[in-house]
């Protein structure tokens, strides 16, 4: 919200510097973005009157102007005529025109001719243009520092033509009152009342404790023929989305340029002046925060205004000459035959004010914010009006804003105001009265403020008060839609009293800071893997749907069930990833292409899956761990060792690796699924798959430009690790009794998994089997074809006594019998 300080002073008289104003407003709770000083760098720019224009002798598009700059001392001024010669190419100059003239050694804010704006402005000096001396420059609004979007329509192209009530030789900036500060406030969504100059003046009045006066809305003469109700009727058919509609009629309208004081306020507030009628409605919108619109009454068929929903698929052309297709949930302003405006968003081309318009209807209405927000979003059409309606506007402003428009039309001679208004207000809005406690306010703020001081603060904000003792009964103005609970009034006291005056205290709490369990698990994983020499990476969660093509995921697989982004930046970032392996392969490929000989990396990142139980709900989001490596030291068993060490550090005891031949990402003979086992709540033995690991398939490596390179990856669900981990440290005494060990070599089928053999040994080793270690796998001449020899070391120990050979043999023989019966594994002669 741009607030020109000069405009603010129309309602309050502040005797402070601009810097002090900004600082005090910040401390009273107003969020300030910037404070810009206009025309601060401008110097030696004068008001000039063009006395004579001649064609340039050597350039068809240039003219030579003789300028009257009064008594100003300017280089090149003719001693006989007192005129200053300036060459220009502006198409809109004429004899008798008053123009801004930058004389020799002047400084203008710029920029010039599309060049970037420079700090300190641009210096103008005399020189020759195509052989003719020019002692200055005639300025357009752009050279004088005004953004193109706020330049008046009448001065958009060419030189700025001034009003003829100025004196040649005057300082241009002072004559037009251009040197002033404009403060840009960031208005939070809960304070729509501050999206208005009056609202900010009310805030400043409370902050600086100075009187505040409202704009003049008293219409002195109603000279228009008849009453407003004689010209127009209003019917609201959707009172839920249109709370109030006020219409006033102006006759004998003169459409022309607005007076300079009005144009200047609009420009500094960020709006382009167009004509007096449009400018007045925009001025009052900025002044009160109440959007308004003017209709040409000749274009309102039947003299009727009807507020109802549009028809599905109805086509409507807005003021920007764009055809828009409406839906049945959009609110439309209609006459007896057709739509004439999209309520709260933009008027229609079929009812706009034109130069020959003589009678107009002023609309001041209140529309539901949610309805306007949806309409604006669906049409991709956001305007100053819709932005205000979206945040919520007090319907009690409608009549006052309409009267203010009529008063300004009367003051500027733009038309004659008809008596009365047509005001349809089905359910008038009333303020919510509540009780607040003096003691509670003091307790929350940590101060000891007297009741009367609080009453003074409330009344400075136009909050009515009553009651006695500790209770203050407060009734806010209806424009303050944010004041609902006692805490809201505590905040009002705090900010007007001064945040800088509140005592600083530390929070009193015995709450112990604690890391969440899932975060602790992820931190432990990071610590373990970094300790094993791996580097952590981070990649984007937004990926291309083609990423799973590169890792050869088949059609219909769950990895292709993507969560799609509604407004993606591009195809390559259009879906949420379901697995981390494609991201890891991208990183490995990038390093390989840059001649990095070996990489060991891991990533802990989010993966996303659609919610199958609630398709319209949020997707399922889980953390996954991906490990990837290549290089001379990388192999399957190196990766398996890292995974085993990690699982052991996370307190997971029972792990199994099951060969997998059908997962297309990995080499069919060098891939395993990782399972952990545990006892269920029912006491039964159960397993859970937590991930998969192996050597990347050669086709996948080829897709990433790493053909011929052996790459090893692993992907594990972090949530599964968390479910099965037990990081509680249990201390046990060192064993008092000796252990005994026995080595066995078993002949088993060639495809028999070692993990299966270990599981059988552990199941039948009873309580005295302390450890099982594989120390040899052999296939050769001494082993028949289709078989292999696997050798284990079994360690036995009883913590309560020394084992006898007979006790060990009994358990050991039970293990061997189980191996033979369950796995057909027989002892090989050592």
DSSP label at 162?
A: B
Least Cα distance to 207 among 25, 63, 412 occurs for 25
Q: Containing H/E element for 441? A: helix 438-445
Q: From the centroid of its chain, how far is CA 23?
A: 27
Residue 487, burial from CB neighbour count under 10 angstroms (0-12, 13-18, 19+): exposed
What confidence score (pLDDT) does residue 211 get?
A: 93
Please work out, in degrees rounded to the nearest 5, the angle formed at the alpha carbon of residue 165 by the alpha carbons of 162 and 171: 65
| Number of Cβ within a 10 Å radius of residue 591 | 18
108 has which bridge partners?
A: 122
DSSP label at 594?
A: T
Least Cα distance to 772 among 753, 749, 755, 789 occurs for 755
What confidence score (pLDDT) does residue 709 get?
A: 95
Question: Which tokens in the block code for residue 287?
Answer: 């002044």
Q: Is the pLDDT of residue 224 over 90?
A: no
Residues 270-289 have a mean pLDDT of: 94
Scored b (16 or more CB within 10 A) or e, 489-523 reads: bbbbbbbbbeeeeeeeeeeeeeeeeeeeeeeebbe
Residues 453-472 have a mean pLDDT of: 94
| 57/130 Cα distance (integer angstroms) | 9
| Parallel/antiparallel/unpaired status of strands 711-717 and 620-630 | antiparallel
Give one DSSP letter per residue of 397-421, joined into a string. Answer: HHHHHHHHHHHHHHHHTS-EEPBS-
Range with the poorest average pLDDT among 54-58, 378-382, 532-536, 682-686: 682-686
Please work out, in degrees rounded to the nearest 5, the angle formed at the alpha carbon of residue 318 by the alpha carbons of 314 and 323: 50
Residues 576-587 have a mean pLDDT of: 95
What confidence score (pLDDT) does residue 685 get?
A: 62
What confidence score (pLDDT) does residue 784 get?
A: 85
Q: Is the pLDDT of residue 317 over 90?
A: yes
What confidence score (pLDDT) does residue 752 get?
A: 85
| 155/153 Cα distance (integer angstroms) | 5
Mapped to the 3 state alphabet, what secondary structure does 307-367 carry?
A: EEECCCCCEEEECCCCEEECCCCCEEEECCCCEEEECCCEEEHHHCCCCCCCCEEEEEEEE
Tell the residue number behind the tokens 């219909």, with chain if given.
556
Q: Are 7 and 268 in contact (CB under 8 A)?
A: yes
DSSP label at 663?
A: -
What confidence score (pLDDT) does residue 155 get?
A: 78
Dump pLDDT digits (tens) for 655-714: 888 888 889 999 988 999 999 877 666 656 678 899 999 999 999 999 999 999 999 999
Q: Is the pLDDT of residue 114 over 70?
A: no
Q: Are 525 and 721 in contact (CB under 8 A)?
A: yes
Q: How confident is the model at residue 751 (pLDDT cuts 50, 70, 90)?
A: confident
| 77/133 Cα distance (integer angstroms) | 12
CA atoms within 13 A on the CB side of 14: 25
Dump pLDDT digits (tens) for 515-560: 888 899 999 999 999 999 999 999 999 999 999 999 999 999 999 9
Distances (CA, A) of 92 to 31, 155, 693: 43, 9, 77
Phi, psi of 623 (to 5 degrees): -85, 135
| 313/326 Cα distance (integer angstroms) | 5
Assign 673 to helix, strand or coil: strand
| 288/396 Cα distance (integer angstroms) | 11
Dump pLDDT digits (tens) for 387-423: 999 999 999 999 999 999 999 999 999 999 999 999 9
Assign 564 to helix, strand or coil: strand
Sign of the dihedral through C-alpha 577, 578, 580, 581: negative
What confidence score (pLDDT) does residue 680 get?
A: 61
Question: Which tokens in the block code for residue 792?
Answer: 């284990």
Q: How confident is the model at residue 116 (pLDDT cuts 50, 70, 90)?
A: low
Q: Is the pLDDT of residue 727 over 80?
A: no
DSSP label at 531?
A: H
| Number of Cβ within a 10 Å radius of residue 153 | 12
Q: Are 244 and 424 in contact (CB under 8 A)?
A: yes
| 372/360 Cα distance (integer angstroms) | 25
| 347/274 Cα distance (integer angstroms) | 15
| 107/65 Cα distance (integer angstroms) | 21
Percent pLDDT > 90 in the chain is 70
Q: Is the pLDDT of residue 376 over 70?
A: yes
Q: Which residues contact 500 (CB under 8 A, 6 or more apart)?
A: 27
Dump pLDDT digits (tens) for 605-650: 999 988 766 667 788 899 999 999 999 989 999 999 999 999 999 9
| 768/795 Cα distance (integer angstroms) | 8
What confidence score (pLDDT) does residue 79 get?
A: 84
Question: Which tokens in the block code for residue 469?
Answer: 């003792």
Q: Is the pLDDT of residue 584 over 70?
A: yes
| Number of Cβ within a 10 Å radius of residue 354 | 10
Phi, psi of 591 (to 5 degrees): -70, -40
| 87/129 Cα distance (integer angstroms) | 7
Q: What is the mean pLDDT of the chain?
A: 91
Q: Are 212 and 28 in contact (CB under 8 A)?
A: no
Sign of the dihedral through C-alpha 98, 103, 106, 107: positive
| 13/212 Cα distance (integer angstroms) | 8
Assign 522 to helix, strand or coil: helix
Tell me the Ramachandran region of residue 380: left when phi exceeds 0, alpha when psi lies from -120 to 50, beta otherwise.
Answer: left
Scored b (16 or more CB within 10 A) or e, 563-575 reads: beeeeeeeeeebb
| 108/121 Cα distance (integer angstroms) | 5
Q: How much is the CA Rg of the chain, to the nearest whole Å?
A: 41
Q: Is the pLDDT of residue 115 over 60?
A: no
| Number of Cβ within a 10 Å radius of residue 234 | 23
Strands of 20-155 (E only): list them: 31-37, 43-55, 63-68, 83-88, 98-108, 122-124, 127-129, 132-134, 136-138
Q: How confident is the model at residue 804 (pLDDT cuts 50, 70, 90)?
A: very high
Residue 595, burial from CB neighbour count under 10 angstroms (0-12, 13-18, 19+): exposed
Assign 50 to helix, strand or coil: strand
Percent pLDDT > 70 in the chain is 97
């Amino acid at each position: 919200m741009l607030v020109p300080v000069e405009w603010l002073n129309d309602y309050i008289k502040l005797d402070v510097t601009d810097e002090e104003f900004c600082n005090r407003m910040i401390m009273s709770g107003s969020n300030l973005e910037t404070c810009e000083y206009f025309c601060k760098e401008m110097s030696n720019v004068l008001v000039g009157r063009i006395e004579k224009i001649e064609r340039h002798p050597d350039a068809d598009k240039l003219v030579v102007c003789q300028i009257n700059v009064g008594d100003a001392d300017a280089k090149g001024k003719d001693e006989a005529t007192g005129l200053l010669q300036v060459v220009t190419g502006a198409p809109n100059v004429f004899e008798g025109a008053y123009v801004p003239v930058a004389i020799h050694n002047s400084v203008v804010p710029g920029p010039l001719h599309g060049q970037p704006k420079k700090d300190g402005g641009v210096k103008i000096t005399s020189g020759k243009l195509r052989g003719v001396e020019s002692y200055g420059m005639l300025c357009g609004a752009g050279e004088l520092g005004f953004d193109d979007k706020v330049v008046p329509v009448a001065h958009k192209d060419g030189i700025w033509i001034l009003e003829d009530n100025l004196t040649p030789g005057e300082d241009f900036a002072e004559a037009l009152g251009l040197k002033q500060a404009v403060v840009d406030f960031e208005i939070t969504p809960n304070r729509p009342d501050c999206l208005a100059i009056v609202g900010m003046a009310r805030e400043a009045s409370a902050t600086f404790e100075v009187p505040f006066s409202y704009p003049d809305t008293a219409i002195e003469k109603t000279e228009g023929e008849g009453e407003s109700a004689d010209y127009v009727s209003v019917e609201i058919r959707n009172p839920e989305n249109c709370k109030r509609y006020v219409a006033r009629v102006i006759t004998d309208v003169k459409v022309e340029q607005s007076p300079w004081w009005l144009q200047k306020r609009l420009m500094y507030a960020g709006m382009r002046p167009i004509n007096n009628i449009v400018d007045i409605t925009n001025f009052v919108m900025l002044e009160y925060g109440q959007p308004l619109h003017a209709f040409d009454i000749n274009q309102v068929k039947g003299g009727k205004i009807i507020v109802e929903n549009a028809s599905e698929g109805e086509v409507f052309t807005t003021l920007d000459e764009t055809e828009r297709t409406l839906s049945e949930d959009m609110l439309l302003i209609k006459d007896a035959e057709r739509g004439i405006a999209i309520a709260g968003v933009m008027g229609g081309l079929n009812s706009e004010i034109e130069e020959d318009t003589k009678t107009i209807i002023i609309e001041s209405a209140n529309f539901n914010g949610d309805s306007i927000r949806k309409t604006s979003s669906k049409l991709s059409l956001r305007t100053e009006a819709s932005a205000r309606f979206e945040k919520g506007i007090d319907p009690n402003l409608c009549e006052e804003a309409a009267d203010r428009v009529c008063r300004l039309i009367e003051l500027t001679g733009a038309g004659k105001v008809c008596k009365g208004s047509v005001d349809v207000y089905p359910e008038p809005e009333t303020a919510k009265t509540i009780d607040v406690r003096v003691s509670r306010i003091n307790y929350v703020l940590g101060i000891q403020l007297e009741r009367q001081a609080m009453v003074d603060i409330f009344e400075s904000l136009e909050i009515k008060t009553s009651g006695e003792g500790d209770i203050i009964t407060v009734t806010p103005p209806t424009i303050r839609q944010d004041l609902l609970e006692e805490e809201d009034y505590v905040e009002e006291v705090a900010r007007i009293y001064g945040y800088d005056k509140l005592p600083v205290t530390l929070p009193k709490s015995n709450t112990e800071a604690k890391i969440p369990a899932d975060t602790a698990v992820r931190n432990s994983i990071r610590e373990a893997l970094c300790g094993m020499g791996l580097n952590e990476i981070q990649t984007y969660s937004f990926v291309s749907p083609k990423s799973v093509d590169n890792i050869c995921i088949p059609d219909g697989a769950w990895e292709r069930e993507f969560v799609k982004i509604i407004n993606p930046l591009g195809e390559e970032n259009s879906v949420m990833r379901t697995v981390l392996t494609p991201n890891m392969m991208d990183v490995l490929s990038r390093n390989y292409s840059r001649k990095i000989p070996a990489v060991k990396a891991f990533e802990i990142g989010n993966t996303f899956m659609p919610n199958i139980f609630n398709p319209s709900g949020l997707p399922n989001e889980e953390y996954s761990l991906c490990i990837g490596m290549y290089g001379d030291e990388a192999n399957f068993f190196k990766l398996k060792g890292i995974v085993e060490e990690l699982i052991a550090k996370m307190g997971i005891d029972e792990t199994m690796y099951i060969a997998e031949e059908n997962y297309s990402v990995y080499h069919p003979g060098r891939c395993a699924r990782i399972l952990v086992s545990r006892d269920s709540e029912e006491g039964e033995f159960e397993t859970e798959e937590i991930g998969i690991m192996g050597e990347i398939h050669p086709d996948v490596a080829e897709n990433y430009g790493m053909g011929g390179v052996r790459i090893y990856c692993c992907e594990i669900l972090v949530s599964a690790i968390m479910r099965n981990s037990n990081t509680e440290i249990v201390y046990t005494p060192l064993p008092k009794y000796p252990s005994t060990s026995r080595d066995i070599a078993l002949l088993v089928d060639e495809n028999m998994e070692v993990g299966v053999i270990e599981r059988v040994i552990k199941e039948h080793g009873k309580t005295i089997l302390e450890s099982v270690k594989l120390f040899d796998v052999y296939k050769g001449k001494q082993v028949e074809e289709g078989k292999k020899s696997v050798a284990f070391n079994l360690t036995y120990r009883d913590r309560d006594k020394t084992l006898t050979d007979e006790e060990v043999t009994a358990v050991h023989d039970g293990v061997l019998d189980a191996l033979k019966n369950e796995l057909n594994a027989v002892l090989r002669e050592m």
